Amino acid sequence: MCPTTYCQIVADEIGLRYEDVKIEFIDYFYFDAIFPAGSMGSTLNTFGLAVNSRKMKRLLLEYALKPLSGSISSPFHGKTIDDLDIRESLIFEKANPGNSMPVRRVTSSQAGGLRPRAEGGFSLSATHSELPEVKERFVMARQCVFVEVEVDTETGQVEVTKLVHPYDVGQSINPDVMNSNFTAGICRPGGLWY
């Protein structure tokens, strides 16, 4: 999985436009992701990205209810978080969608940045409480590559005559990345380059 897919997940969960999401792979105080590499990036990061994106959405809505800067009151004065939503990078009142403002207005009005409450900070180690305990784990059992070759016994020349590589991808978040992974899977079955 690549950073493009991570941005898609975050944008979808928060309600932002894709082009408004930037993910940098540096050490953060609140959230540290595993660098995207092969299947491990998606396995380790997707759930954490979704959980933390939902926390960020709530944080944005909390800040949208506060005065923006100085004495400028929020257009959502008297409303609650449940009265608001975010879509296409706009925070809006559900009952009156015309009452809206861009997310960037909320973020730019906070000189020190948006700070999560201590008990509601961001963490990649978040787990889903409803998931059952897994007693037996199957690791990376989702692909197989079959290659049929012809070998010239005089010269040693090898020619691939048939290649079949089925995959169990589940639901693809980003088909372009998935297709690239198919090609990589052909080149390095078992994780070794041939």
**What digits encode the pLDDT tens for the residues 63-86?**
899 887 767 788 998 999 999 999
Domain region containing 163: 146-191
Do residues 25 and 81 share a domain? yes
Query: Domain with 53 in it: what CATH number?
Result: 3.30.365.10
Q: What phi and psi values does residue 180 have, to the nearest 5 degrees? A: -65, -40
pLDDT in tens, 110-124: 666 666 654 455 555
Quickly state the pLDDT bin for 29 (edges 50, 70, 90): very low
Specify whether 26 is located in the same domain as 110.
Answer: yes
Is 12 in the same domain as 96?
yes
Structure tokens at 4: 């493009």
Residues 16, 53 contacting (CB under 8 angstroms) = no
126, part of any domain: no
Q: Are 7 and 45 in contact (CB under 8 A)?
A: no
pTM for this structure? 0.68
**What is the torsion angle, in degrees rounded to the nearest 10, for the CA atoms of residue 24, residue 26, residue 27 and residue 30?**
-10
Distance in angstroms (rounded) separating the CA atoms of residues 144 and 164: 8
Q: Residues 114, 151: one domain?
A: no
* 73 falls within a domain: yes
Residue 130 within any structural domain of the chain: no
